[in-house]
Amino acid sequence: MPKKKKIGSYPNAMIVMSLTAALFLIGFCGLLVIQSKKLVSIIRQNIEVRVFVDKEETTAGRDSILSVIKAKPYVLVSTEVTPITFVSKEEAAKEFIEGTKEDFAAFLGENPLRDSYRVKIQEDYFEEAKLQLIKKDLEKIKGVYEVVYQEDLADNINKNVTKIYVVLASFALIMLIIIVLLVNNTIKLAIYSQRFLIRSMQLVGATNGFIQRPYVVRGAVQGLIGGILAAVLLIVLQQLAVRNVEGLAMLQEYDKIILLVVAVLTLGVLIGISSTYQSLARYLRMALDDLY
């Protein structure tokens, strides 16, 4: 004989699996956003403003220029990278020759390049208008010959970053809507299988709150389990990627990843509670004839 389904049986595994898949996709979008923001931050930190020094400037004069630059509020403060690097004209010539494969000293007879400081700028100043002001401010320093940077690069990067964030945010929002609808329908089907049990409890005098409480608690537990499974999958995927993709380790911000995991768990509980409560409310108000 086929095994009879018990009255009140509930498709817990199906709901947990649906929630896990949904929360994993949402968490994955969040992980992409975190790592793309870190990548943009690294790119910005490696953009340099070059401060060229007058040829006749002495060592004491160069040290004075360095002291003034260090005091500027827009200079990057970081323990990960060196914010100000001195490049002598000999080092600059060597870099030029290695990059172009041409030895200009052979036909010029001298090194026309200048000593310079390469200055990294804080992210808050990474805009074309602000970089122009920085250029003018640095050129006022005594002993500075010229200040150069890659013009329009900041605006181009900012525009592209904005486009990436808009695409990722739109994708995440669309996924969230679709996923919530799918999970909601899954829980509705689960509650549908319980409609006669719910009506039986109403007939014996159970209040709506008494009927809803175990289902809502179960929805919260299912959301929490789904969130835990999704978080584990995310962490496993992230660790596999870090171990197998060179350079990906520098994009990891573990404090933000922890916040993302907490957000996934919280979202799972909220989706489980809200979907269960909404589905229950429908059957609690439904007439007996409509149950069939």
Q: What is the tens place of the pLDDT at every residue in 265-282?
A: 998 899 888 888 877 777
User: Does position 163 have pLDDT exceeding 60, yes or no?
Assistant: yes
Q: Residue 212's closest CA among 290, 288, 285, 271?
A: 285
What was the pLDDT predicted at 107? 61
- Residues above pLDDT 70, as percent of the chain: 88
Q: Which amino acid is at 8?
A: G
Task: Give the pLDDT score at 7.
Answer: 46
Count how many residues are written for the chain.
292
Tens digit of pLDDT for each residue in 205-236? 777 777 778 888 888 898 899 999 999 999 99
Give me 49's structure tokens: 């403003």
List the chain domain ranges: 12-41+156-291, 48-149
Region 95-104: mean pLDDT is 70
Q: How confident is the prediction for the chain on average, in pLDDT?
A: 81
Domain spanning 48-149: CATH 3.30.70.3040? yes
Q: Interior CA angle at 7 toward 6 and 10, to 5°?
A: 80
Neighbours of 94 (CB within 10 A): 13
Average pLDDT over residues 156-171: 79
Rounded CA gap, 39 and 33, in Å? 10
